[in-house]
Chains A and B, each alone.
Chain A
Amino acid sequence: MAKSIDVKDLDIYYGDFLAVQGVNVHIKARSVTAFIGPSGCGKSTVLRSLNRMHEVIPGARVEGKVVVDGQSLYGAGVDPVAVRRQIGMVFQRPNPFPTMSIYENVLAGNRLNARKLKKPEADTIVEKSLRGANLWNEVKDRLAKPGMGLSGGQQQRLCIARAIAVEPEVLLMDEPCSALDPISTAAVEDLIHELKSDYTIVIVTHNMQQAARVSDDTGFFNLKAVGEPGHLVEFNPTTKVFSNPDESATEAYISGRFG
């Protein structure tokens, strides 16, 4: 079920503002790909264009191609709603639905498109997803309680459970640990390691140690210059990026000389 992603000559706009230019990248199936770079260089923008979440912002659009296992995401007749069902997303701030219980939060995606779930089927999905998100043991006795009652790290894992409950092919994560404490961060990082065997994962992080810890490949984004669009400076296996990068700009960023 995990799929690879090919991005070709992708330009991403907010209205007339060209935010990111000329991205070419191949993201392998069943691997973790990290996007790093200084803030404002377009990491989130690129990530959101991979499941067509970019265009929910008024005026936002892309040019170029995103191909998931041979199928073009931006082709004519492709329904963005269907794309987002296949490519799940976890956001920077945990965003469980505030009025829903833990149980209902997990099932929110499964209940969409007027799908009816039988109780045993629903129970199975909830348990499987919460186990998958390493949250089952902590919440199994209070599934009917509101999701907002959990700690930040638990909420974020609940959001991950919600995203994997619909069995997507790809999981996109935008700085999923930036609002979490170190212990919750470790829990989410462990989870990413485990999810890798089933999912293609793309993660944006501002934390370079995290990129080094969890990812197989790393893309370094940067602005071409002040006032210019962001672009992908380098894309290589993570070990190479952190030990012997091709570009001096990458080297400078990683060794903390800027950004």
Chain B
Amino acid sequence: MSTMVDPGPEAPEAPPVEAKPPTRLGDLLFSKVSLVSGLIVILFLAGVGTFLLIQGLPALDASGEATYGEPDIWKFVGMLLYGTIYASLIAIVIVTPLAVGLALVISHYAPKALAKPVGYLVDLLAAVPSVVFGLWGLEVLAPKLLPAYKWLNEHFSWIPLFDGSVNSRSLLTASIVLALMALPIVTALLREIFAQTPRAHEEAALALGATRWEMIRLAVFPYARSGMVAAILLGLGRALGETMAVAMVLSATGTGYLTLSIISAENPNTIAAFIANNYANASGDKINTMIFAGLALFLLTFVVNFAGRWIATRGQNKG
């Protein structure tokens, strides 16, 4: 057995021992390419950040005309941040149960023959351009929702959410469109997380006489908890920055209204939609104001995505 004692007939073919391990051209090339791409990404991110800072900071003492009628920049960006976060949170409230349900159907309920096509279908949703979502929201969804809004307003206007003068192009319509746009990514992430549940935990639950739903509650959800939070945060990150659909669907002028109502004509506005709708006509100070708003969005999205990643990796380490 020992190779030292018995060189055997193939000994002459053995490669000569070298002090240095051979470096292969492919490996070398690959490591250089990855390094360069990594550096480009970092440089790019830093470049965007610097641009936003240099162009946005002069807006700090903007007011009046330059802040679109708001007394100062903080009120201006605060209003827009409110709308951005509000719309995204409603979108997340809508998308979470949908995505959890769909992901469970794909990972645990549907037979393989059905799960695959459903999965593809959801993925396809991600390929629908934002403009198309906007058009659809405006032309198809909004009119369909109007009767429901009227009904809600009639019976539940004592809840601030459903107060005000009803309009189909309301914050809720925009949030539903946002939810549909975030659905593919959140579903895809959740489906992967659910599918990774250790078989041993699932079988432990089933062997105790758990129904499938009980098995999911006992084995899948506890295992997936941090992953679910991460997936939802990443979906939130997606909704925060979404522009076209909201710009097209939402009826809001200027920085919008500071209101809780989600079915009325008087809506808050989101940062991305505000910039999209106003940038073309802006000049001078207004450009700085808008870039400042962009900086706020950049930071917000960054923090949310970062939190999502952080929770995801922390969950992985835990097991």
Contacts and interface: CB of A to CB of B under 8 A. Distances in A.
B37 interface: no
A96 B198 CA distance: 12
Contact of B222 (A89, A91, A99): A99
Interface stretch (A80-88, A118-126, A209-217): A80-88
B207 A89 contact: yes
B111 A81 contact: no
Interface string B122-157: 000000000000000000000000000000000000
B223 A113 contact: no
Contact of B208 (A56, A82, A93, A162): A162
Contacts, number: 69
A162 B208 CA distance: 8
A188 to B, nearest CB: 17
Interface stretch (B27-35, B58-66, B210-218, B298-306): B210-218
B208 A108 contact: yes
Nearest to B225: A99
Nearest to B209: A85
- Chain A interface size band reads 20 to 34
Contact of A93 (B112, B200, B218): B200
The residue in A81, A82, A96 that gathers the most chain B C-beta atoms within 10 A of its C-beta is A81
A163 interface: yes
B207 A97 contact: no
A91 B209 contact: no
Contact of A85 (B111, B112, B208, B319): B208
Given A97-B201, A97-B204, A108-B218, A84 B209 contact: yes
The residue in B112, B207, B225, B319 that gathers the most chain A C-beta atoms within 10 A of its C-beta is B207
A20 B218 CA distance: 32
Nearest to B111: A58
Interface in B201-257: 201, 203-211, 214, 218-219, 222-223, 225
A91 B205 CA distance: 12
B222 A97 contact: yes
27 contacts: A56-B203, A81-B209, A81-B210, A84-B206, A84-B208, A85-B208, A85-B209, A91-B207, A93-B200, A95-B198, A95-B204, A97-B201, A97-B204, A97-B205, A97-B219, A98-B223, A108-B205, A108-B208, A108-B218, A109-B208, A112-B208, A112-B209, A112-B210, A112-B214, A112-B218, A113-B209, A113-B214
Given A109-B209, A159-B204, A166-B209, 15 more contacts: A82-B209, A84-B207, A89-B207, A91-B200, A91-B203, A91-B204, A98-B222, A98-B223, A98-B319, A99-B225, A108-B205, A112-B218, A113-B211, A113-B214, A162-B204
Interface of A: 51, 53, 56, 58, 81-86, 88-89, 91, 93, 95-100, 108-109, 112-113, 159, 162-163, 166
